[in-house]
Amino acid sequence: MHPSEEIFCEKSSRLRGKTIVLGITGSIAATESFSVIRELIRHGAKIIPVMTPNAAKLAAPDAIEFAAGLKPIIELTGQTEHVTHLGDPSAADLFLVYPATANTISKMAQGIDDTAVTSMATIALGGKMPVAVVPAMHELMLNNPAVSRNLRTLAEWGVHIIGPYRDGIRAKAASKDEIVSWAVKLLSRSDLAGRRILVVGGRSEEPIDSMRMITNRSSGKMSLALAQRAFERGAEVELWMGSCSVSMPDFLKTKRFSTVSDLITMVDTIDHDIVIMPAALADFTPSEKREGKIPSDESFDIKLKPVPKVLPLVRKKCANVIGFKAESGFGLAELERRARCRMKEYDLKAVVANDIDVAGRSTSSVILVTEKPSKNITGTKIEVSDEILNYCAEIT
């Protein structure tokens, strides 16, 4: 067994059965192509690597072969590799250029074939296969009018431009996680296409003094999984996130909030088709915030006041709201009853109920309560998210 087979579908099977021809060009980001290949395989993809000669100077072909389990194509031969792998729609599912230099982008836009990668691009574009490029270059190169024009040309042809992300000096390549999400988005069902979905997640933090706060347990993992899967299934996604322990990906449109009061000020901007709210929001806030840090060697009293409930405010702005209800110590029947009460009280489309013991874990066990019979869902955050989004796809 080749080492690449050992990690096949290690993280998910979202790309199982899909073949991606990966064009690697001569940006320094080519050194990251090894990890990109491995990540795509971990989600089930088969990778056929193709390299320009300049890319082969930066990323060792033997390392790429180890990553993919296939020897990289650097020169075309009498085997007509470009036609074999991309000339037949049944041969591959996506042509992805990572990283894409200004040179290769411009050649693709002008129909120039002088490397294995650009020849693959010509075949893929001619065959109307899904094509995506991940630009990576110095920022001044991206600002060049010719390069900018060539990127626009590719976009007009239907090529998906992933990134780049500017830091003032470099136009940096998209992360491997974003590339996986885009690959899934382009190669799987788009049952949420055209839907505008807002996910509100994380936890609020109500300050006691300049150091201490009142908060809830929430990692933000479920919120991120919901937003990521909604994106991959074609939705236009926005993520509002409070405090959390997960990193926010660049490709998701994200806004941050700290307190419940912060979140309430954002509610008026809601114009989405569906709002999903797994956020763990505080029910109380200190009546006053003390400046500085209260001495730790003194006792003190805190007077709390209730904060407004956010769900009813959100419901006024959106007809399709899915709430979450966390409880502790109840059986399934009582958990469902409480969720149905919440659904009716706030006129929600659905409520996802769970026991607080699952907070922060990589797996979840929840009850999806709708007007239909409830559904018990157990699995990874991604699997649970998909079941919730299946319901969202049914909402008209």
Same domain, 145 and 253: no
At 42, which CATH number? Answer: 3.40.50.1950
Q: Are residues 160 and 86 in the same domain?
A: yes
- What does the pLDDT look like over 217-232, one tens digit per residue? 888 999 999 999 999 9
Single-letter amino acid code for the residue at 16: R
CB 313 within 8 A of CB 334: no
For the cut 90, the answer to whether the pLDDT of residue 65 exceeds it is yes
165, 187, 209 — which closes off a domain? 187
Q: pTM, whole model, 2 decimals?
A: 0.89
Mean pLDDT of the chain: 92
pLDDT mean over 223-243 = 96
Q: From CA 238, how far away is CA 198, in angstroms rounded?
A: 5
Q: Are residues 238 and 162 in the same domain?
A: no
Same domain, 339 and 313: yes
148, 167, 187 — which closes off a domain? 187
pLDDT tier for residue 239 given thresholds of 50, 70 and 90: very high
Burial 181-205 (b: 16+ CB within 10 A, else e): bbbbbbbeeeebeebbbbbbbbbbb
Q: 228 and 174, same structural domain? A: no
Lowest mean pLDDT among 6-10, 178-182, 211-215, 312-316: 211-215
Sign of CA pseudo-dihedral 310, 314, 315, 321 = negative
CATH code where residue 210 lies: 3.40.50.10300
228 and 326 together in one domain: yes
Together in a domain, 178 and 142: yes
Domain boundary (187, 208, 241) is at: 187
Statement to judge: residues 217 and 173 lie in one domain: no
What CA–CA distance (Å, rounded) separates 34 from 99?
11
CA–CA gap between residue 140 and residue 270 (Å, rounded)? 37
Judge if 136 and 216 occupy the same domain: no
Same domain, 84 and 53: yes
Domain count, the chain: 2
Question: The domain containing residue 361 runs over which residues?
Answer: 196-394
Give the pLDDT confidence of 112-129 residue by residue, as tens digits. 999 999 999 999 999 999
The tens digit of pLDDT for each residue in 261-281 reads 999 999 999 999 999 999 999
Q: Are residues 322 and 383 in the same domain?
A: yes
Q: Are 144 and 212 contained in the same domain?
A: no
